[in-house]
Amino acid sequence: MMTFFKEFNDRTKCIAKNVPIQVTLEPLNDRTYRFYLRTPTVVWFIRRCARVPMFSSMAKHNTVGSITLAEVIYF
């Protein structure tokens, strides 16, 4: 278990804090494991840029936030 934590920390040290990472842990028959890291969804990045927790339920009628070109380039 400690080797998993060390390897996970090594592979995720370049990722900013508070960014959710999807992890798939695959145990193998010889008591070893493989794990895969996936980036957050695009929706998460858009919500973060627009500073809104949830999108509008009436998408074509209500504007709940906006994103500037500089924010798109930065993220």
**What is the C-alpha separation between 12 and 20, in angstroms, rounded?**
11
Percent of the chain surpassing pLDDT 70: 91
Classify residue 29 as left (phi > 0), alpha (psi -120 to 50) or beta: alpha
Mean pLDDT calculated for residue range 47-71:
76
Residue at token pair 């400690």? 2
- Tell me the per-residue pLDDT of 4-13, one tens digit each, with 9 for 90 and over: 889 989 998 9
**pTM of the prediction?**
0.60
CA distances from 2 to 5, 6, 8, 50, 51 (A): 5, 6, 10, 38, 36
Q: pLDDT tens-digit profile of 11-29?
A: 989 888 888 999 999 988 9
Boundaries of every domain in the chain: 1-40, 41-75
Asked whether residue 56 carries a pLDDT value surpassing 70, the answer given is: no
Our CA angle for 67, 22, 27, nearest 5°, is 170
